[in-house]
Structure 1
């Protein structure tokens, strides 16, 4: 369900929200004061979408009917201070976001260590070539994207706090088994199983994080999430530098030791995740954590600040399944299609450059050990640029133009990679060029939070996040065929394709901006034509959910 119009416009609400203390009953005011010491309460009732008693009663009824797990702490009159909220957000970051980053580290270890293994002549050891590697990538990606939506549906049914640790333990077992690969067939089989078990992990995590953070806070937390992705590349490159030197120990190649050791690391993280993922804000107390992570006051503030940012976050229980009808409604919701298209296109121009990084460095004459170390510099710059661009998006409250910087950044580098003659005989110059390209500001955090924001409903959000990631993986499948064995080592034809796709990506962003501006004007015109009574009746009686609601404005 959407929130009333005053809380659902194209601009995000400030993350704190409090009613004037003079409008709060004396008992509640005393309670608020007791919880916040001498700090001054905010006096801004306009930030509270529940200030109208009718609106508060309407949403309370929604939460009760949905059996929303946090409904018992919903309090339209609760107040808190900015300092109190900042302390609570920092505490949430340490308890929730940090572990999400650790889990994502585990995902990327098992998803990305294939690149390090390639530097140790893995393809030659298994009697394979780069086309076989391409097939393996495609098998993984297709399995990954086919598992996205089913995984999200399972996660919504049993809870991400249960499903994500199960996924991690299962894929870790498969990851460890790669140390026993024999040939092309076993390589493709393990790729398929890894894809099936890892698929859905990212939207599952996004859904889980949305229970604890507001829409303005989520992109920054997702940027930390993706920072762990890039940090994993640095850590695994250093590990590979050491583990690949074990070639010959017990008759094993270095890449076999790499798969064994790193698979065991992710297995440990997966087992620990059963104990580190609370189901919701109000469910941190368990038999092994009897005191929980938050006080009753902190729980109340956490729940109410998230609901005031987006009241629709309480219209579905966190164990409620997505019905086939609801699934179909989300699939045909055309207002989210532009974001799916962006997800499909925007990573195509850089995908092959990154995927073939270690193979390219080897072809330039670098040895296996230096190759893995040379992957670190672009990763470090990539982390910094990603954090800066996500902060910029939050500061400007702007998504389209900031996210488009990813495509604008890579245009000059891809043109040079295609047309610069020095690519043929200047190893360090070519490496520097690749570093510049791969240092682009990664905007996935902005875009997946953008999808979450425009979904405007828990059920829609769960499915939309999975569809978005499916589109990203479909793009990955497509770019896996751009660099061909016959086109190596300079991939002239492939780089021509990447340049063209880069310009298509820029157009996709601009077209999305124009569409959302037009849609908001269209809905505003229809909404303004209704009387106050008609608007109130619409809010209380409409069956329309998600971004199509007339009282919701799409973020852009």
Structure 2
């Protein structure tokens, strides 16, 4: 709910509307709450944090939804009630229809952008006459293309709808991924890296936006943790699959890595085609020739729509086919209140990104076989899954995202210090493997951050752009992190690991600043809100030009 999950308190509700709430509870006894059309005066116990019980708020947002031509506005009902068991059933249906589909499509992303690490264990670099620095350049090209495509992709997706654009993206990059089976040298390697990055750019932000249409702010982080758990599961699966696929080396005179790209690209192409069936525009637009009965009954549609709007009324301030204008984009880009989260995105994942991109190469240099190298990546992925699910759940349980995010530097700093300063690195092969595995399996705060950006955006316009910008910051981190290990620093990478250690330490002040900044901003808003009379607050709600997270009746999560 808005008031509970986002720490939103409409004081005007408490001071002006409380008597009406009490009266409505008394009147509820005379109403049949099971009648979808006769609930306009009833209030159930699960509506205690319903912001629309304030008629001023309800009137304001009804006008917003009408002006925006919000596709679900017909299902909006400030006094609609439902039973907790109904909501649980709806949530299970959403998890199967929406979350599972998102995880499957995310799997296709990870397969085609992550199988390069398996391909290099089969002598891809030698076959193409590539050096370590060429490998770095190819990765840099991929992430630069990914970054530059974020905003254009988001603009296309917002105009067409994620349900149309995402399957198109998957099919397009799958075709390019399959074409990697015909790589002939440095030029073709760079071109395919560029194309895959450009097509995949914006995919994650598009998919997160689609998920936000169906889930509340407290539910989204957990579903996003499933999202990135899929990444680790896919890595485990592709590591095992690579053992068999790479053994095809020599069949039809093709290298094993060529078979890897061809077969895995074909698999993701099938997922992309299935995406047209798996995705729908919104909760009220599930009926089509592929789904003649739709996903929900009329009552279920109202439950899905109203539970999301009561949690975050801003989710209806744009139509799901409404394109972003340049003015909207500029307003979102200049939203300084999200800058602290962007800073975290640039810094947080550098150690993991650097070590993971070189893990298979380093294990081969330590003397492990192709088979054992791919198997030895699995324990890190397994630890990663456990940490990811736990800390994402914990962040919502304690309702303190910054505190939980501190687990990352507390965990990673001592481990990266070992890699940077331990003299046994690359000599004690199993010790080195153990340390790098623990680093890669550490607390992954990405799901928390993505949901945090979404929650603190507080408008569809800002959420669309902010998700893309945050991911752009993450890609910037990926770009520089992929260039920390250099050819002249081999094989111990002392200089590179020292730089990773410094980056891990910097996370402490960055997270502390983020916490203090949002506490300060909330106090600013609260002081201005409390200085208003009830009449002034009512006037503000109806007439303010403040938008999104700049509204005084919104408080930042931290």
TM-score, normalisation: structure 1:
0.95
Instruction: Give the match for residue 292 of structure 1.
Output: 294
Cα distance in 1 for partners of 2:506, 2:389 equals 25
8 Å CA contact 1:28, 1:78 repeated in 2: no
Q: Against the structure 1 CA distance between its residues 360 and 146, is the aligned structure 2 distance closer, same or farther, given a 3 Å change threshold?
A: same
- Alignment length (residue pairs): 545
Instruction: Give the match for residue 484 of structure 1.
Output: 486
Higher mean displacement: 91-100 or 21-30:
21-30
Residue 65 of structure 1, CA deviation: 1.0
2:244 to 228, 242, 245: 242
Q: Against the structure 1 CA distance between its residues 425 and 45, is the aligned structure 2 distance closer, same or farther, given a 3 Å change threshold?
A: closer
Instruction: Give the match for residue 458 of structure 1.
Output: 460
Cα distance in 1 for partners of 2:202, 2:320 equals 17
8 Å CA contact 2:171, 2:273 repeated in 1: yes
Instruction: Give the match for residue 230 of structure 1.
Output: 232
Instruction: Give the match for residue 15 of structure 1.
Output: none
8 Å CA contact 2:166, 2:203 repeated in 1: yes
Q: Against the structure 1 CA distance between its residues 182 and 522, is the aligned structure 2 distance closer, same or farther, given a 3 Å change threshold?
A: same
Residue 24 of structure 1, CA deviation: 4.8
CA deviations over 1:396-449 (Å, ceiling 9, x no partner): 011011122122211111011111122132111111111111110111110000
Q: Against the structure 1 CA distance between its residues 145 and 495, is the aligned structure 2 distance closer, same or farther, given a 3 Å change threshold?
A: same
RMSD between aligned alpha carbons? 2.1
Cα distance in 1 for partners of 2:327, 2:282 equals 26
Cα distance in 2 for partners of 1:80, 1:195 equals 45
Instruction: Give the match for residue 81 of structure 2.
Output: 79
Unaligned residue ranges in structure 1 (runs of 5+)? 13-17
Higher mean displacement: 272-281 or 21-30:
21-30
TM-score, normalisation: structure 2:
0.94
Q: Against the structure 1 CA distance between its residues 264 and 539, is the aligned structure 2 distance closer, same or farther, given a 3 Å change threshold?
A: same
Instruction: Give the match for residue 29 of structure 1.
Output: 33
Within a 5 Å distance, the mapping from 1:401-480 to structure 2 comes to 401-480=403-482
Within a 5 Å distance, the mapping from 1:219-368 to structure 2 comes to 219-368=221-370
Q: Against the structure 1 CA distance between its residues 372 and 482, is the aligned structure 2 distance closer, same or farther, given a 3 Å change threshold?
A: same
SS at match of 1:352: helix
Q: Against the structure 1 CA distance between its residues 351 and 11, is the aligned structure 2 distance closer, same or farther, given a 3 Å change threshold?
A: farther
Residue 383 of structure 1, CA deviation: 0.4
Cα distance in 1 for partners of 2:282, 2:519 equals 35
Cα distance in 2 for partners of 1:28, 1:306 equals 23
8 Å CA contact 1:28, 1:77 repeated in 2: no
SS at match of 1:31: coil
Q: Against the structure 1 CA distance between its residues 369 and 4, is the aligned structure 2 distance closer, same or farther, given a 3 Å change threshold?
A: closer
Instruction: Give the match for residue 109 of structure 2.
Output: 107
Residue 351 of structure 1, CA deviation: 1.3
Instruction: Give the match for residue 9 of structure 1.
Output: 7
CA deviations over 1:46-104 (Å, ceiling 9, x no partner): 31111122322221111111110001111111111222211110110001100100000
8 Å CA contact 2:242, 2:374 repeated in 1: yes
SS at match of 2:351: coil
CA deviations over 1:118-153 (Å, ceiling 9, x no partner): 000100000011100000000000000000011011
